Structure 1
């Protein structure tokens, strides 16, 4: 029989709380919530073959989606070693006009540094959508 003051599940005899899961998602910093950082992370997952292109469906316009469909099957940012995926070295953005961000990311893939550029535009619903994506040719760091 449980009382109103019992906080443990039925059948549990001790008062210890369950351990915090090691699989819990890490807290995101304020920087990681900025649209260009958020989108750079998502692009990295798609272009490294870790996520399918359709995971970006609601966040990309038609022309940019077509570019991603063409790029993604080659997984141009994959490192070859599944345990060591690509790493975002730097993400930046400029504001060419109100409601638009032109962003870039430098990505480390193995011993190479790659450049990624994309444009985000704010919709009337105040959501950011990617309207263009470009990936450099291979450049040595």
Structure 2
């Protein structure tokens, strides 16, 4: 690299680059320009009614116990994951409720191809270490309610202790 002009020669081509004294101090110094997906835009959604949450919003949501559990309950109740996938995250009664609901796949999308999604999830904390959460689930053209209770156990993990769907119990 020629330090005075900030360029380098590769073969017979001269490529201009940043002068040596102007490099950033942390992180990556150059954007990725090769490899799969480089220079291509992400696929566009055809369903404009419900856009994907922004990546930063999705990451913030994932850190909240209520969204984490709502997503996993949705995957189980839509038939995309087996019930035993939630075994370590539920207490006895909640696991039994999931096992009773899951064979019906109540959150399976009505028109095939459109996956159900958590539109919104909120919580109420009746006492320390307890979260009563409620979520709005969009499955096709239906909007369903999902309610669940989380308890902070002695091993410092949140576990689901009750699940109800659409206000009725099966």
The two structures share one fold, judged by TM-score above 0.5: yes
Structure 2 residue runs of 5 or longer lacking an equivalent are: 1-32, 43-54
CA deviations over 1:10-43 (Å, ceiling 9, x no partner): xxxxxx8643698xxx775122211000000000
Please give the alpha-carbon distance, in whole angstroms, between the structure 2 residues aligned to 1:126 and 1:82.
39
Alignment of 1:135 with 2:152, yes or no, is no
Q: Secondary structure at the match of 1:57?
A: helix
CA deviations over 1:78-103 (Å, ceiling 9, x no partner): 11334211121110001111101000
CA deviations over 1:98-124 (Å, ceiling 9, x no partner): 101000001111211110000000011
Structure 1 residue runs of 5 or longer lacking an equivalent are: 1-15
Q: Secondary structure at the match of 2:95?
A: helix
Instruction: Kindly indicate whether the alpha-carbon contact (under 8 Å) linking 2:110 and 2:141 is maintained by their aligned counterparts in 1.
Output: no
TM-score normalised per structure 2 = 0.64
Instruction: Kindly indicate whether the alpha-carbon contact (under 8 Å) linking 2:89 and 2:158 is maintained by their aligned counterparts in 1.
Output: yes
Alignment of 1:38 with 2:55, yes or no, is no
Alignment of 1:113 with 2:130, yes or no, is no
TM-score normalised per structure 1 = 0.77
What residue is the counterpart of 1:98 in the other structure? 128
* Segment drifting more, 77-86 vs 99-108: 77-86
| Structure label with greater radius of gyration | 2
After TM superposition, the runs of 4+ consecutive aligned structure 1 residues lying more than 6 A away are none
Q: Secondary structure at the match of 2:125?
A: strand
Provide the alpha-carbon RMSD of the alignment. Answer: 2.1
> 1:1-80 to 2 correspondence within 5 Å?
18-19=35-36, 28-80=58-110
Please give the alpha-carbon distance, in whole angstroms, between the structure 2 residues aligned to 1:137 and 1:47.
15
Q: Secondary structure at the match of 2:59?
A: coil
Please give the alpha-carbon distance, in whole angstroms, between the structure 1 residues aligned to 2:135 and 2:66.
9
| Matched residue count | 120
CA deviations over 1:57-93 (Å, ceiling 9, x no partner): 1000011100100000000011133421112111000
